[in-house]
Amino acid sequence: MVAKFEKVEYTADDIGCMLFESITRGLYSKPLHAIREYVQNEIEADPPPQKIEVVLEGRNLSIIGDGGGMNPDDVSRAKKVGLSFKDPTRHFGFRGIGIWSGVSIADKIIVSTKKKGMEEWLILEIDCKGIREELEKRTVKPLTQMLSEHVALGKQDGPKDAHGTHVQLIGLLDEVSEYFTEASVKHYMGQVLPVDFDTRFDHAKEITKNLRRNVFNYATYDIFFNGQPINRPPYIRSLEKPMFGLISESGEELGYFWICLNKEREKISDEDCRGVVYRQWNYTVGDRKSCRPFLEATLHLADWYVGEVHVISKDIIADSTRMLFECSPAFDALEAKLKDEMKNRVEDARKKSHVETLEEKIAEAKEIVKTPKQFGDNREKLKSLAKVEATKDYLTKKQQHKWTPTSQKQNIKKMTTELADVEQKILETPVAQTTLIKKQEAFTPKKMPKNIQSFDQLADLFGITGMTEEVLKVVEEVLNRTLSKDAQILKQVKSEILAALRKKLQLG
């Protein structure tokens, strides 16, 4: 017999208040993400705001915007839990959680809002502490009943021309206080929110122009924290001109990136200005480590770069935490393409470093060739020979390297020939006469002190310099290494050598 099915009707009694715990608690990996949600709600007002101000005063946080505000119907929709009327292809937020973002971090939420022309401000007050206590008691109540007991709506007179939305988080909890410091909030806002680049970034105008042209949903807003404007990184100047690229698959545009290489050819010193980040609707998704896996074995070079990947495809959607993207073929394609792009960027960094180091070595070789060859002692002569040999070997190895420009290969050949001539000249150059033992005006010992234990001490005591000193050091290093496992034999061999030196130097 074939089973027959009928629709099941749900009522408020079928939805328990514990569902609310899943919606609000642990929704974000950082309590600061609540700021993004409230800022995002204001930005998506109609019309959007000219200015948003975030104010932290002790244990109270306010997000104040001068956007279109809400009327009674808008407030009725906004207070719904897990229901949203926003189009995900036109808005970054669409899950219906935004207004409830602060429930887990404050004792009370007060939302004051008004559209232009309305006589009164609408004030929605949420008793977060009461809701949390209900959840902690594991109370058995319908969700609608619990919310009705802890949410209230009021009105207050206001000027007709006034408009916008003001969210207050009253009584931030002790357990989140470490996040809500002035430094932490300012840092978070600069890293995550859709604001303009910092004025210290030399390429800000060029990159902004390209993003506005190639990213359909790119926009920036004037956002302030405690009266100071917020800008996003990088906050440094030592960066090369940006590289740009469109990431696409089968004709579909997936993302658009810009990336800059550190001029110093090393890790960017400021960790807030290094690495590549994802952005969607100009909000950061994830953090500065999100793109690092695509650099594989060359991970250390990731810190040489700073950049952004702006997601364009409407099929790539951030999850509710905004720390990841939902799994989809479009996102898989973006990741694969991004991996190739990052490999190319790493290759570019290596090529630049190769060419620049090569140019430095060629300049060093030219300096060696024109430097007069005069040596005070054999040590100076040996050092000069070693430097010439090392430079010649380096240039010889790099002459046929695939990254060495063709224009430099002939130059390298010429320089290695000249260095070989210099090497011969150094060998033929006489060294100023050096004495084995320095003249000792105040002290000329007749006997070697008994406390002499090493050749180094011997050289220091009697002023032995030049090649003799170098030979003594080498001999002692070889003895120490070869006879390290037998201290008695080592001591005996050293004693015999020291005795021979004493006799040779006529030290008694």
Q: What is the mean pLDDT of each run of 10 residues along the chain (508 residues)?
A: 61 58 60 93 92 97 96 87 53 59 92 94 93 82 83 90 96 95 97 96 96 96 98 93 91 93 88 91 89 57 87 89 87 88 77 85 88 76 83 88 88 88 83 50 48 68 67 75 71 76 61
Nearest alpha carbon to residue 152 among 204, 96, 196, 112? 112
3-class secondary-structure state, position 191? helix
- What is the value of pTM for the model shown? 0.72
For domain 13-180, which CATH number applies: 1.20.210.10, 3.30.565.10, 3.40.50.300, 3.40.50.1110? 3.30.565.10
Q: Is the dihedral of CA 365, 370, 373, 379 positive or negative?
A: negative
CA-CA distances (angstroms) from residue 508 to 432, 435, 447, 451? 30, 20, 5, 15
Closest CA to 106 of 43, 60, 58, 156: 60
Looking at residue 259, its amino acid is: I
CA 285 to CA 306: how far, in whole Å? Answer: 16
Quick one: pLDDT at residue 22?
57
For the chain, the straight-line distance linking the first and the last C-alpha, in angstroms and rounded, comes to 119
pLDDT for res 91: 46
What is the structure's pLDDT at 305?
86
CA distance linking residue 225 with residue 381, whole number of Å = 64
Residue 250: partners with Cβ closer than 8 Å, 6 or more residues away: none
Q: How many Cβ atoms are within 10 Å of 36's Cβ, its own excluded? A: 23
The answer to whether the beta carbons of residues 259 and 273 sit under 8 Å apart is no
Domain positions in the chain: 13-180, 204-219+231-346, 371-428, 435-508
Q: Enter the tokens of residue 491.
A: 């001591």
DSSP H helix total and E strand total for the chain: 13, 13
Residue (of 431, 329, 455, 326) closest to 380 by Cα position: 431
Strand partners, 125: 110, 152
Q: Which CATH architecture has domain 204-219+231-346?
A: 2-Layer Sandwich (3.30)
Structural tokens at position 391: 């430079």
The one-letter amino acid at 373: K
Q: What is the pLDDT of residue 165?
A: 96
Both tokens assigned to 459: 């050289």
How far, in Å, CA of 137 to CA of 16, rounded? 13
Helices (H), 175-257: 182-192, 204-214
Q: In a 10 Å sphere around its CB, with 0-12 CB exposed, 13-18 middle and 19+ buried, how is residue 314 labelled?
A: middle
